[in-house]
A = this chain, B = another copy of it.
Amino acid sequence: MEPINVFDYETLAKERMNPAYWDYYAGGSDDEVTLRDNQRDFARIRLRPRMLVDVRQCNTSTSVQGLPISMPILVAPTAMHCLAHSEGECATAQGAGAVDTLMIASTSATRTLEEIAQAASGPLWFQLYIYYSLDVAAGLVRRAERAGYQAIVLTVDLPAMGNRERSRRHGVPMPPPPLVRANFVGIGQEDIGQVAVTWETIDWLRTITSLPVLIKGILTAEDAQLAIAHGVSGIIVSNHGGRQLDGVVTSIEALPEIVEAVAGRCEVYMDGGIRRGTDIFKALALGARAVLVGRPIIWGLAADGARGVQQVLSILHTELELAMKLAGCPTLASINHTFLKL
A interface, CB within 8 angstroms of B:
1, 4-5, 30-31, 33, 42-43, 45-56, 156-157, 159-160, 162-163, 165, 168-169, 171, 193-194, 196-199, 201-202, 215, 217-220, 222-223, 226, 244-250, 253-254, 276, 278, 282, 319, 322-323, 325-328, 338, 341
Given the complex, which residues of B lie within 8 Å of A326, measured CB to CB?
A: 157, 159-160, 162, 244-245
Cβ contact within 8 Å between A51 and B218: yes
Cβ contact within 8 Å between B341 and A30: no
- The residue of chain B having its C-beta at the shortest distance from the C-beta of A282 within the complex is B247
Given the complex, which residues of B lie within 8 Å of A328, measured CB to CB?
A: 159
Cβ contact within 8 Å between B55 and A160: yes
Q: List 21 A-B contacts (CB under 8 A).
A: A5-B30, A5-B165, A30-B278, A31-B276, A46-B247, A47-B247, A47-B248, A48-B248, A50-B223, A51-B215, A52-B198, A52-B202, A52-B226, A53-B198, A56-B159, A56-B196, A157-B326, A160-B322, A160-B326, A222-B338, A245-B278
| Interface residue from B156, B201, B247 paired with A278 (Cβ < 8 Å) | B247
Cβ contact within 8 Å between A51 and B249: no
Cβ contact within 8 Å between A220 and B50: yes
Inter-chain CA distance A276–B53, complex, in Å, is 34
Cβ contact within 8 Å between A1 and B171: yes
Given the complex, which residues of B lie within 8 Å of A30, measured CB to CB?
A: 5, 276, 278, 319
Inter-chain CA distance A53–B51, complex, in Å, is 43
Given the complex, which residues of B lie within 8 Å of A282, measured CB to CB?
A: 247
Given the complex, which residues of B lie within 8 Å of A226, measured CB to CB?
A: 52
| Interface residue from B169, B196, B245 paired with A49 (Cβ < 8 Å) | B245
Given the complex, which residues of B lie within 8 Å of A327, measured CB to CB?
A: 245
Given the complex, which residues of B lie within 8 Å of A250, measured CB to CB?
A: 46
Given the complex, which residues of B lie within 8 Å of A201, measured CB to CB?
A: 52
CB distance from A101 to the nearest CB of B (A): 21
Given the complex, which residues of B lie within 8 Å of A1, measured CB to CB?
A: 169, 171
A219 and B162 contact, Cβ closer than 8 Å, known pairs A56-B194, A278-B30, A326-B245: no
Cβ contact within 8 Å between A247 and B43: yes
